[in-house]
Structure formats: structure tokens, C-alpha cells
Amino acid sequence: MSTPTSTPTSTTTSTTTSTTPRALRRRDFRLLWAGESVSQFGSATTRVLLPLIAVNALDAGSFTMGLLGAAAWVPWLLLGLPVGAWTDRMRRRPVMIVCNTVSAVLMFSLTAAHWLGLLTTGQLLLVAFLSGTADVFFRAAYSAYVPTLLPQEELADGNAKLQTSESAAEVAAPGAGGVLAQTANAALGFLADGLSFLISAVLLTRIRARESPPGREERAGADRSLAAEIREGIAFLARDPFLRTILACDAAMNLFLAGAQCLAIVFLSRTVGVGGGVIGVLIALTGLGGVLGAVISPRLARRFGTARAVVLCAFCSGPFGLLIPLTTDGTGLLAFLVGDFCLMTGVVAGNVIIVSFRQAYCPPDMLGRVSSSIRFVMYGTIPIGSLLGGTLGTVLGDRGALWLLYTGNALCALLLLTGPLRTRRELPVP
């Protein structure tokens, strides 16, 4: 995640002036970036809207919220490994277009059910599972597709732009999701999310850069068993100490953060007593931490070195999560705001550096397999963490469960010291 990525074709270069930021000079990347920005805005609205509907309209408890959080990520445990091998055998853009279209249809089904008064917890769980399945395919293709649009030296800049858009959506959209839930206009939020997926699919169809057909190794792979290709991706990941160490830390963090996040809305709503609109505003404000993290990540990498920056982000951000269980109503909401803001800043800044490193470091013909192996482990811990959070919330109460989960997250940074990152300034380059 060792050979340089292919250079985009000349049609990807825009005639914009040289003052345009590096990655955004390329027309095809701009289309991808614009589509993802719109889609992320819709999805960020739904991420707040859906659990609020479950809590307020369908009277979901902590364990049900854990199930809802797990449903979207279970597909990674079921399909995460083979999907990487499949996407290495095919062109990635058509896969992404189909996934966006399927996701749009699923959101429209929620719109129709809500308008007709037929929305149930069972449908929410089913849609979460099916949209999570589409997301497995989309992310496997997407991660391997970005390096076909940008040369290696622009990957960090491009990933920072994509992450900034995602974080900006987390700022602007949650407030809208909270208001829609509070004013019984959830159908509009689901409709907007569906339309955002369709817009992203249309923009993807306008990208001119041609993907190279699967090379000889990929064509030969079509004659081999899928298990053999999966083993190659796992073996590459297991042999590399940098990828292995970072993955162990990321997966452990995801476990604890997933448990905490599935409890966050029910904690704020029922334990703290905050309304849906205020919850949306809080989540939007903490999302500014993600924007800040995406913006400062290249500077941190230049100032401290990529390896040291990853370690710094993990150690400095984790302890701030311990402010969140201290949250109370009124001025006590500052504990949630400061804690989640600083936690998001460190997590996103570290993620931008790590994703850029993986995309440049992994051989292009194995990028799909290795990326999916990584996501299988990272995202496979999320449903486990969600169920853990729901169970702990039922047994210990939401506040007690959050104390335990955020303490575990803060300790995960120690895993980075078990590998080569502890002695290096820079992560290796191809």
C-alpha cells in the first residue's frame, strides 16, 4: 500500500490556472471530488437522522441502537475479503456507479415508507445492512480508483481534499438531520440523501480517464481460485510491519469508538436530556474538528515526518474522549463539544496520512485486495464494537459504558509503539 501509480491521461488535466490547488487542477479528480462531496453531505444528514428517528419515533433502546450500528458494518465481515479480489479483476468506476445507484434506491424506499406511515425498525435495520453492502463494494473500488486519477506525488493532496469535504459535510449536515427529525420531516432527509447518491453516480459517468483493463496478472487471476488471491493480499499485509502495526491500532480504535458512537445520540437525548436540534448542532460543531484535521494533516507530516505525525495524532487525541462522559446539560455540553472536537481532529489528521501512505506503498495490481483486507479488519471490528456498546449501555448505563469505551480508545495508541513507527521519522516510500 511499491510501484508508482499510473499517471492520468492528458484528458484529466484542466486548463485552469496554475494557482488552482494541485489535485484540483485535474478535471477528472474534480468530478470525483464533487460527486463525493455531495454524497457525503446527504449521508451525513442520514447518519444523524436515522438514529434520532429510531430513538424518538420508534422508541429504540441502547441495545437496538447497537444493532442498528452493527447492521451497516456486518457486510464487511461477510464480504470484505472477497470484494477486494473481485475489484482487482474489473474496472472500478462501473462498480462505483452501480453502488451509488443501489444506495439511492434504498434511501428512496425509506422516503416512501415514512410518507406512508409504514416505517419500522426492521426496515431501518434492513436498509442499513443493504446500504452497508453497497458501501463495501464502493469503498474497495474507490480506494483503488483514486490513484488512477492522480500521480503519486498528488495523492496526499487529493486525499486531504476528499477528507476535508467529508469533514465539512459532518459540520453542515447533522444540524439539518436533527431539525428534520425534530420537525417530523425525516422523509425529506432520506430523499435528499438518495438524490445525492444519484448526483454522484452521474458525475462519475462524466470522468474521461480510461481505466486500464486488468493486466496479465489480473487476467491470470481470473483462472485462479478467489481464495488464492485473497491469501496473497493477506500475506502482503501480514508480512509488512508498517501496515500491520498501523492496522492493529486502527482496528482497536474502531472497536471502542464504534461502541461509543452508537451510544452518543441516545446518551445525549435520554441521559443528558438534549433535543434533536441541539444534538445536530453539537455533532456539526464537533465535525469542525475533522475539517481541521484534514487541513493540518499535510503540515503535520512535513513538520514532524509522516511516521511521527501518525503517532502524535493517536497519543494526543485519544485522552480528549474522556471528557465526553462528563457531559451534562447547559454549560456541561462543552465537555462533549471539546472532547469530540479534539478527538476528531486527531483521528482525521492521522487517517489522511495513513490512507495516502497505503495508496502509494501498495503495488497497484494488489491495491484492491490489500485495501479490502485492511478494511475487513478495521470495519469488521465496528459491528462488534457497536454490539459491545449496546450491551455495555444496557448493563452499565450509557455514561458508565462511555467511560469504559473512551478509556479503551485512548490506550490503543500504545499499539503503535510495538512496531517500527516508534523509531522512524518517515513512513517508507515506494
Residue 113, pLDDT > 60, answer yes
Three cell numbers written together for 159: 486525499
Report d(CA 5, CA 329) in Å as an integer. 51
**Is the sign of the CA dihedral 387, 393, 399, 404 positive or negative?**
negative
Give the pLDDT mean for 113-131: 86
Residue count of the chain, please give it: 430
pLDDT of residue 4: 32
Give the pLDDT mean for 34-62: 73
12: confidence class by pLDDT, cuts 50, 70, 90: very low
pLDDT of residue 74: 85
pLDDT of residue 184: 56
Ranges 17-26, 235-244, 378-387: which has the least confidence = 17-26
Could you tell me the residue ranges of all domains in the chain?
22-210+226-423
Report d(CA 1, CA 147) in Å as an integer. 11
Ranges 118-132, 180-194, 261-275: which has the least confidence = 180-194
Residue 304 CB partners (closer than 8 Å, separation 6+): 312, 425
Residue 213, pLDDT > 70, answer no
10: confidence class by pLDDT, cuts 50, 70, 90: very low
257: confidence class by pLDDT, cuts 50, 70, 90: very high
207: confidence class by pLDDT, cuts 50, 70, 90: confident
Residue type, 164: T
pLDDT of residue 175: 55
pLDDT of residue 223: 47
pLDDT of residue 411: 95
Report d(CA 262, CA 284) in Å as an integer. 17
124: confidence class by pLDDT, cuts 50, 70, 90: confident
* DSSP tag of 362: S
The predicted-structure confidence for 283-332, as pLDDT tens digits, reads as follows 778 878 888 888 888 899 989 998 999 999 999 999 999 999 999 988 99
User: Which CATH superfamily includes the segment(s) 22-210+226-423?
Assistant: MFS general substrate transporter like domains (1.20.1250.20)
Report d(CA 279, CA 12) in Å as an integer. 41
Q: How big is the CA angle at 23 (ends 208 and 374), to the nearest 5 degrees?
A: 90
The predicted-structure confidence for 369-398, as pLDDT tens digits, reads as follows 787 788 788 888 888 888 898 889 889 999
355: confidence class by pLDDT, cuts 50, 70, 90: confident
343: confidence class by pLDDT, cuts 50, 70, 90: very high
Average pLDDT, the chain: 80
Other Cβ atoms closer than 10 A to 363: 15
19: confidence class by pLDDT, cuts 50, 70, 90: very low
Residue 151, pLDDT > 70, answer yes
Range list of H helices, 267-397: 276-304, 306-317, 333-361, 367-396
* DSSP tag of 395: H
CA distances to 12, 20, 29, 30, 429 from 16, in Å: 12, 7, 13, 12, 30
- Own/partner long-range contacts of 416-421 (Cβ < 8 Å, ≥24 apart): 416/245, 416/246, 416/249, 416/310, 416/311, 416/314, 417/311, 418/245, 418/248, 419/241, 419/242, 419/244, 419/245, 419/246, 420/241, 420/242, 420/245, 421/242, 421/245, 421/246, 421/307, 421/310, 421/311
